[in-house]
Amino acid sequence: MDMGTLPAGAAMSPAVASRAIEGAKMTSRKVCVHYGQKQALFDVDLDIPSRQVTALIGPSGCGKSTYLRCLNRMNDVIDGCRVTGDIRLDGENIYDPKLDVVMLRARIGMVFQKPNPFPKSIYDNIAYGPRIHGMAAGKTEMDEIVQLSLERAGLWNEVKDRLAQPGTGLSGGQQQRLCIARAIAVSPEVILMDEPCSALDPIATAKIEELMDELRENYTIIIVTHSMQQAARVSQKTAFFHLGYLVEWGDTEQIFTSPRDERTQGYITGRFG
């Protein structure tokens, strides 16, 4: 191997893998992603523990979103994107050709960086997922799901009188919580969040962080964030990506107090990135 061109992270992968978690909700081994000719991720080995918040941090363009999108096969819809390696959910290979990707996405929900409610009513935004998955056997059951999801996302009190109004008419923070409610309405096991607070003010951010803390009891959460403070506040595990390599991951406390790699050290102290 030409060590001159490859950053040291490539050589570290086995060492990272050796610290695999027993009974992890999701595991990835040697995950590589190419966009056409360009490789965006290099041999990522990462375990996601069940019912905890895992934060993905790293400088812009390092592949955090790319990795996140591998986990629910959202990269499938991008032309020219090729994923290799092995990603498992509860020990089951999610890239198995026999696996139904639609059912996978019902088990792994996603919240995007920019709030993207459907241009439909608030009610229909939440009800859409349960409806296409046949989760409710009638209007009352559906109403129940909608109310429960909005309550869990902390939005119910604000919108309960205007459920028929368009979801796009809400404020940015409300829209993002609507998207979270929409994701949890289909009762996923894992929720992926790609910079969910980047468009929000501190108060809305605090609400969503609080929400993540509550959701952690029932869901496995993976969050991409650019805010060190946020990662430190909400996550139990943190993974640091750099130039397409997973440089280091472990307990959040350990990453932030005593990082092993100097690049991690440099990033969290704000010396580069």
Ligand X SMILES: Nc1ncnc2c1ncn2[C@@H]1O[C@H](COP(=O)(O)OP(=O)(O)OP(=O)(O)O)[C@@H](O)[C@H]1O
Integer Cα distance of 38 and 243 in angstroms: 12
Torsion of CA 263, 269, 270, 273, to 10 degrees: 20
Q: How far is the CB of 175 from other proteins (least distance, A)?
A: 11
CA neighbor of 180 nearest in space, from 160, 169, 194 = 194
Residues of the shown chain interacting with ligand X in the complex, contacts defined by CB under 6 A: 35, 40, 58, 60-66, 78
The conformation of residue 168, written as its DSSP 8-state character, comes to G
Binding at 132: pick from Mg ion, other proteins, ligand X, none (beta carbon under 5-8 Å per type): other proteins
235 binds Mg ion per the rule CB under 5 A: no
Binder of other proteins out of 29, 133, 216, 226 (CB under 8 A): 133
Site for other proteins, residues 89 to 128, rule: CB under 8 A: 102-106, 109-112, 114, 116-119, 128
CA neighbor of 196 nearest in space, from 187, 186, 207, 185 = 207
Q: How far is the CB of 232 from other proteins (least distance, A)?
A: 27
252 binds Mg ion per the rule CB under 5 A: no
Q: How far is the CB of 61 from ligand X (least distance, A)?
A: 4
Q: Which is nearer to other proteins, 13 or 149 (CB)?
A: 149
168 binds other proteins per the rule CB under 8 A: yes
Q: How far is the CB of 80 from other proteins (least distance, A)?
A: 9
Q: Considering only 6-14, 64-72, 164-172, 238-246, which stretch makes contact with Mg ion by CB under 5 A?
A: 64-72
- Secondary structure of residue 9 in the 3-state scheme: helix
Q: How far is the CB of 203 from ligand X (least distance, A)?
A: 23
Q: Which is nearer to ligand X, 65 or 175 (CB)?
A: 65
Binder of other proteins out of 64, 152, 177, 182 (CB under 8 A): 182
Q: How far is the CB of 5 from ligand X (least distance, A)?
A: 17
CA neighbor of 190 nearest in space, from 212, 222, 214 = 222
CB-neighbour burial class of residue 262 (10 A; exposed 0-12, middle 13-18, buried 19+): exposed
Q: Which is nearer to ligand X, 147 or 198 (CB)?
A: 198
Specify whether the backbone of 236 is left (phi greater than 0), alpha (psi in -120 to 50) or beta: alpha
Integer Cα distance of 72 and 186 in angstroms: 14
Q: What angle do CA 159, 161, 165 make, to 5 degrees?
A: 70
The conformation of residue 51, written as its DSSP 8-state character, comes to T
Integer Cα distance of 209 and 139 in angstroms: 32
Q: How far is the CB of 205 from Mg ion (least distance, A)?
A: 17
Q: Which is nearer to other proteins, 33 or 74 (CB)?
A: 74
The answer to whether 153 and 184 are in contact (CB under 8 A) is yes
Binder of Mg ion out of 13, 52, 65, 252 (CB under 5 A): 65
Query: Rule CB under 8 A: which residues touch other proteins?
Result: 72, 74, 77, 79, 102-106, 109-112, 114, 116-119, 128-129, 132-133, 166, 168, 179, 182-183, 185-186
